[in-house]
């Protein structure tokens, strides 16, 4: 234990030193520091924002911002120099500190799996001297938190599996006709030391003669209880704390990035296998199985979900002020934010008043148009989209289609209307099955159908709370915000179609309908002059004050779960819509999964034409290619071992060999399986991808070197020496390139674009 403690401490300090060396280099906002620095600033200012990632990682980054950034006005614009009030080196050290636990956890993970101290240390040092891991961990990014919780989850998973299931084995003495003793042994390596062949012979002899073993008196049972052996300790091992920690760490990795879903699957598969083995075991009662299933469900399903939800509760509790990203949320959510533009609104909608419409589905955007045509409908027929930001192109005005000469009053149920777009000065229309902004025609006439209202359905449409549909009179279809986005010609904004289906995508509500302080007096005068017969019978509210402020909505009770689902839907749809843009290719930002494995190129994190230090995210070529080889040949080694055992009856019956092969299967799953689960899914992702998406998979591939090199002490030392040498050769990429010309000698492959 002392050796493990000292080794862990040294690993942590060494890794922290490596990651914080020259961390003050680059006194400007580097790469995605522009995003996550802004989000951290938003937390400090309690201003609502939207991002595709869950909140935990950004909350942790916000802690560093609160501690080390005194400038609350700094915007974290890309490539902007840090002001004096922002202690950016300390903010970066905060992230390096968290990521410095990764090699330590890797070391302890391998100890859990009964690798030798030497092999575990060598593997951990490969992580310490991995250039890519250092690059991603010394900036104000989420990846430090993601990799830390990935490593933590792996540690607790191996702790549970090794102690609960792998260390137990039955030692059978072939010289006895019956099993005379079932021993709960120490894991793997200690078996041979504890079970001596000569003691087995003595045991057999003593059993046959009825004599005492070694002619010693039988020990007092109470003494055994007072001083339990290691075997009894393992037998009485309580897995509940470890499973609880595993559930908490799964919840945390999920709450940093959704790639944590892959880590969750990685943790769940062996648990499912264990449950399956219990289920088909006839000697294992159904009652015990039910108890085990319930306990595991609480600890490994309910706990992570609760943690995930908890951080969203904190997220909403902190961010109470209106911000520029409000439109990603529902209209009612926005109205509850402090200083929201829609916090004070008219109750009803006057014809001719400029308003905004929002899709009422989860992640719905504002109805939007701009002076850009569809590719197949050129001319003055403009695109209709949904947009998630405040913009004058979201402004519309309802006009009533009527034969009555009197002035229409409020927007109501079954009104025939046209919808006028104030910027393009055209009308919402249907043209060749396209929803367009076009000159006024009969295809521009719609019928408004009120569906429901949160505060009680009325004849008139109410701002924020009324859900309605718009049915095109000519075609009979409903205006719908689909779940798709337009391609680049539509600026990747939300697609708007017309459909016969009456589903949630066809529901809309009025969002912006600003209330003016003199509105009530104006409406009183207008009400006195108006013809009362035009007010619907039973609409008593209109007989009094015509269009008051909608005060009732202020006291409307909204539910966290609806906001939670809305935000997560928006995150999913926005994340899915990220596509590769051609204009990004020249600066080598985006990449493909196949390029990560072969280290075709890294990622330029700064501009390459300035005099500033240049930072290039790139792996250590030696450890990178070594881990690729090991992660692939590890299963082949296991296959060869398995074939040899199957072909030898003596080996098949040997408990130690059977035990070790079970350990090998677990190691291959944890290493190669972990790599596959965190790598292969990216081949099926349609969104834009970057080099750093490979790093969780890289963590597992480096762990796989322990399995391949575990019996090659001298070779391992030599490989580590070469990896350390290579790390320092490529260190200018990590710590900041001053002279690009000096790096041309290290361009071993033509696609490495750091020169």
Interval 46-78: pLDDT, tens: 999 999 999 999 999 999 999 999 999 999 999
DSSP string over 70-138 = --TT----TTPBPPTTB-HHHHHHHHHHHHTHHHHHHHHHHHHTT--HHHHHHHHHHHHT-HHHHHHHS
The tokens describing 88, both together, are 């950016």
**Measured between alpha carbons, how far is residue 276 from residues 23, 270, 273, 302, 558 in Å?**
50, 10, 5, 20, 42
User: Is 580's pLDDT higher than 90?
Assistant: no
For 441-445, which contacts have Cβ atoms below 8 Å and span 24 or more sequence positions?
A: 442/473, 442/474, 443/472, 443/474, 443/475, 444/418, 444/419, 445/401, 445/416, 445/417, 445/418, 445/472, 445/473, 445/474
C-alpha atoms less than 13 angstroms from C-alpha of 84 in its C-beta half-sphere: 0
The tokens describing 468, both together, are 């309605």
- Give the list of residues 6+ apart from residue 418 with CB closer than 8 angstroms, or none: 398, 399, 401, 427, 428, 440, 444, 445, 446
Q: Return the H-helix or E-strand segment holding 240.
A: helix 240-254
Phi and psi at residue 437, to the nearest 5°: -105, 110
| 142-171 average pLDDT score | 84
Interval 269-292: pLDDT, tens: 999 999 999 999 998 999 999 999
Closest CA to 396 of 443, 434, 446, 361: 446
> What pLDDT, on the 0 to 100 scale, is given for residue 740?
84
| 295-311 average pLDDT score | 97
> What pLDDT, on the 0 to 100 scale, is given for residue 651?
66
> What pLDDT, on the 0 to 100 scale, is given for residue 177?
35
**pTM score:** 0.86
Closest CA to 61 of 146, 124, 2: 146
Q: Return the H-helix or E-strand segment holding 480.
A: strand 478-485
Count Cβ atoms below 10 Å from residue 400 Cβ, excluding itself: 18
Tell me how far apart the alpha carbons of residues 266 and 289 are, in angstroms, rounded to a whole number: 22
- Chain-centre distance for alpha carbon 250: 11
Tell me how far apart the alpha carbons of residues 177 and 607 are, in angstroms, rounded to a whole number: 77
- Give the list of residues 6+ apart from residue 77 with CB closer than 8 angstroms, or none: 29, 34
Phi and psi at residue 690, to the nearest 5°: -130, 165
DSSP string over 345-409 = BBSB-BTT-EE-EEE-STT--EEEEEEEEETTEEEEEEEEEEESS--GGG-EEEEE--S--SPP-
For the chain, give the percent of residues with pLDDT over 90: 70
What is the three-state SS of 13-59? HHHHHHHHCCCCCCCECCCCHHHHHHHHHHHHHCECCCCCCCCHHHH
| 373-402 average pLDDT score | 92
What is the three-state SS of 587-654? HCCECCHHHHHCCCCCEECCCCCCCCCECEECCCHHHHHHHHHHHHHHHHHHHHHHHHHHCCHHHHHC
User: Is 433's pLDDT higher than 70?
Assistant: yes
- Give the list of residues 6+ apart from residue 593 with CB closer than 8 angstroms, or none: 679, 682, 683, 689, 693, 694
DSSP 489: G
Q: Which residue has the higher pLDDT, 219 or 467?
A: 467
| 572-595 average pLDDT score | 73
Mean pLDDT taken over the chain: 86
> What pLDDT, on the 0 to 100 scale, is given for residue 1?
59
User: Is 585's pLDDT higher than 60?
Assistant: no
Residue pointed to by tokens 């260390």:
167
Residue 192's pLDDT band (cuts 50, 70, 90): very low
Tell me how far apart the alpha carbons of residues 130 and 97 are, in angstroms, rounded to a whole number: 16
Q: Diameter of the chain by CA atoms?
A: 119
| 390-394 average pLDDT score | 94
DSSP string over 215-233 = GPPPPPHHHHHHS--HHHH
Interval 81-105: pLDDT, tens: 999 999 999 999 999 999 999 999 9
Interval 333-380: pLDDT, tens: 999 999 999 989 999 999 999 999 999 999 899 999 999 999 988 788
> What pLDDT, on the 0 to 100 scale, is given for residue 652?
66
Closest CA to 703 of 637, 628, 641: 628
User: Is 43's pLDDT higher than 70?
Assistant: yes
Residue 517's pLDDT band (cuts 50, 70, 90): low
User: Is 196's pLDDT higher than 90?
Assistant: no
What is the three-state SS of 268-317? HHHHHHHHHHHHHCCCCCHHHHHHHHHHHHHHHHHHHHHHHHHHHHHHHH
User: Is 520's pLDDT higher than 60?
Assistant: no
Tell me how far apart the alpha carbons of residues 116 and 121 are, in angstroms, rounded to a whole number: 9
Interval 592-638: pLDDT, tens: 999 999 999 999 999 887 788 999 999 999 999 999 999 999 999 99
For the chain, give the percent of residues with pLDDT over 70: 84
Closest CA to 149 of 12, 257, 296, 240: 257
Size (the chain), residues: 755
| 541-570 average pLDDT score | 82
The tokens describing 137, both together, are 């961990």
User: Is 528's pLDDT higher than 60?
Assistant: no
User: Is 488's pLDDT higher than 90?
Assistant: no
Interval 205-264: pLDDT, tens: 444 444 443 344 444 443 333 333 444 445 567 889 999 999 999 999 999 999 999 999
Tell me how far apart the alpha carbons of residues 576 and 52 are, in angstroms, rounded to a whole number: 9
> What pLDDT, on the 0 to 100 scale, is given for residue 184?
39
Residue 198's pLDDT band (cuts 50, 70, 90): very low
Residue pointed to by tokens 């991808």:
689
**Measured between alpha carbons, how far is residue 661 from residues 185, 658, 695, 706 in Å?**
16, 5, 29, 16
| 684-692 average pLDDT score | 90
Whether the CB-CB separation of 193 and 171 falls below 8 Å is answered with no
Interval 632-662: pLDDT, tens: 999 999 999 999 888 876 666 677 788 788 8
Strands 616-617 and 603-604: antiparallel
User: Is 28's pLDDT higher than 90?
Assistant: yes
| 192-216 average pLDDT score | 43
Interval 344-354: pLDDT, tens: 999 999 999 99
> What pLDDT, on the 0 to 100 scale, is given for residue 146?
98
> What pLDDT, on the 0 to 100 scale, is given for residue 195?
40
Q: Which residue has the higher pLDDT, 549 or 755?
A: 549
The tokens describing 75, both together, are 């915007």
**Which of 213-227, 543-557, 593-607, 710-724 has the lowest average pLDDT?**
213-227
C-alpha atoms less than 13 angstroms from C-alpha of 523 in its C-beta half-sphere: 22
Strands 466-472 and 354-355: unpaired
**Which of 120-124, 141-145, 434-438, 574-578 has the lowest average pLDDT?**
574-578
- Axis-axis angle for helices 143-161, 88-99 (nearest 10): 20
Residue 80's pLDDT band (cuts 50, 70, 90): very high
Residue 540's pLDDT band (cuts 50, 70, 90): very low
């Amino acid at each position: 234990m002392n050796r493990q403690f000292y080794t862990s401490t040294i690993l942590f300090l060494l890794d922290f030193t490596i990651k914080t060396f020259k961390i003050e280099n680059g006194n400007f906002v580097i790469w995605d520091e522009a995003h996550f620095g802004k989000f951290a600033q938003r937390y400090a200012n309690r201003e609502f924002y939207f991002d595709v990632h869950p909140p935990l990682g950004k909350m942790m980054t916000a802690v560093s911002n609160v501690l080390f950034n005194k400038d609350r006005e700094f915007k974290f614009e890309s490539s902007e120099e840090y002001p004096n009030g922002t202690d950016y080196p300390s903010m970066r050290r905060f992230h390096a500190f968290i990521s410095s636990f990764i090699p330590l956890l890797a070391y302890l993970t391998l100890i859990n799996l009964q690798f030798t101290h030497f092999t575990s240390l060598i593997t951990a040092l490969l992580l310490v001297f991995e250039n890519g891991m250092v690059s991603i961990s010394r900036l104000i990014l989420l990846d430090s938190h993601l990799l830390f919780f990935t490593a933590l989850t792996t540690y607790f998973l191996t702790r549970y599996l090794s102690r609960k299931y792998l260390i137990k084995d039955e030692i059978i003495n072939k010289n006895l006709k019956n099993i005379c003793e079932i021993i709960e042994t120490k894991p793997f390596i200690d078996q041979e030391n504890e079970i001596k062949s000569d003691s087995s012979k003595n045991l057999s002899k003593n059993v046959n003669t009825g004599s005492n073993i070694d002619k010693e008196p039988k020990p007092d049972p109470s003494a055994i209880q007072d001083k339990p052996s290691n075997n009894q300790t393992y037998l009485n091992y309580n897995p509940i704390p470890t499973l609880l920690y595993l559930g908490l760490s799964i919840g945390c990795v999920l709450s940093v990035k959704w790639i944590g879903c892959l880590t969750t699957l990685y943790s769940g598969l062996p648990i499912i296998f264990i449950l399956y083995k219990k289920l088909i075991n006839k000697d294992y009662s159904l009652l015990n199985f039910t108890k085990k299933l319930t306990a595991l469900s609480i600890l490994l399903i309910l706990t992570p979900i609760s943690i995930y939800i908890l951080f969203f509760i904190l997220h909403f509790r902190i961010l109470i002020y209106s911000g520029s990203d409000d439109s990603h949320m529902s209209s009612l959510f926005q109205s509850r934010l402090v200083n929201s533009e829609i916090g004070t609104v008219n109750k009803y909608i006057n014809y001719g008043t400029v308003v905004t419409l929002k899709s009422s589905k989860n992640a719905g955007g504002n109805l939007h148009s701009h002076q850009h045509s569809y590719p197949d409908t050129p001319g003055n027929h403009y695109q209709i989209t949904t947009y998630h930001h405040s913009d004058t192109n979201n402004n519309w005005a309802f006009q009533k289609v009527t034969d009555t000469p009197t002035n229409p009053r409020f927007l109501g149920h079954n009104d025939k209307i046209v919808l006028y777009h104030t910027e393009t000065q055209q009308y919402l229309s249907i043209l060749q099955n396209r929803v367009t902004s076009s000159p006024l025609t009969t295809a521009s006439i719609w019928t408004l159908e009120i569906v429901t209202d949160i505060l009680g359905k009325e004849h008139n449409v109410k701002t924020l709370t009324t859900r309605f549909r718009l049915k095109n009179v000519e075609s009979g279809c409903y205006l719908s915000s689909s779940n798709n986005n337009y391609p680049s010609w539509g600026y990747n904004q939300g697609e708007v179609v017309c459909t016969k289906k009456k589903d949630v995508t066809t529901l809309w509500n009025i969002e912006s309908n600003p209330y003016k302080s003199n509105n009530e007096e104006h409406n009183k005068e207008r009400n006195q002059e108006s013809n009362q017969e035009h007010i619907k019978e039973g609409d008593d509210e209109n007989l009094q004050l015509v269009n008051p402020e909608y005060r009732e909505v202020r006291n409307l009770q909204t539910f966290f779960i609806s906001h939670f689902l809305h935000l997560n839907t928006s995150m999913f749809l926005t994340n899915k819509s990220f596509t590769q843009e051609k204009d990004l290719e020249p600066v080598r930002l985006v990449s493909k999964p196949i390029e990560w494995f072969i280290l075709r190129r890294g990622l330029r994190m700064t501009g390459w034409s300035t005099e500033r230090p240049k930072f290039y995210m790139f792996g250590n070529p030696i450890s990178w290619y070594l881990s690729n080889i090991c992660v692939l040949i590890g299963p082949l080694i296991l296959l060869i071992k398995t074939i040899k055992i199957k072909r030898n009856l003596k080996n098949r019956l040997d408990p130690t060999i059977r035990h070790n092969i079970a350990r090998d299967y677990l190691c291959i799953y944890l290493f190669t399986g972990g790599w596959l689960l965190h790598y292969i899914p990216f081949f099926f992702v349609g969104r834009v991808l970057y080099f750093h998406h490979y790093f969780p998979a890289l963590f597992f591939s480096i762990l796989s070197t322990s399995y391949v090199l575990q019996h090659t002490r001298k070779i391992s030392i030599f490989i580590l020496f070469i990896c350390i040498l290579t790390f320092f050769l490529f260190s200018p990429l990590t710590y900041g390139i001053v002279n690009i010309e000096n790096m041309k000698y290290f361009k071993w492959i033509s696609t490495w674009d750091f020169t």
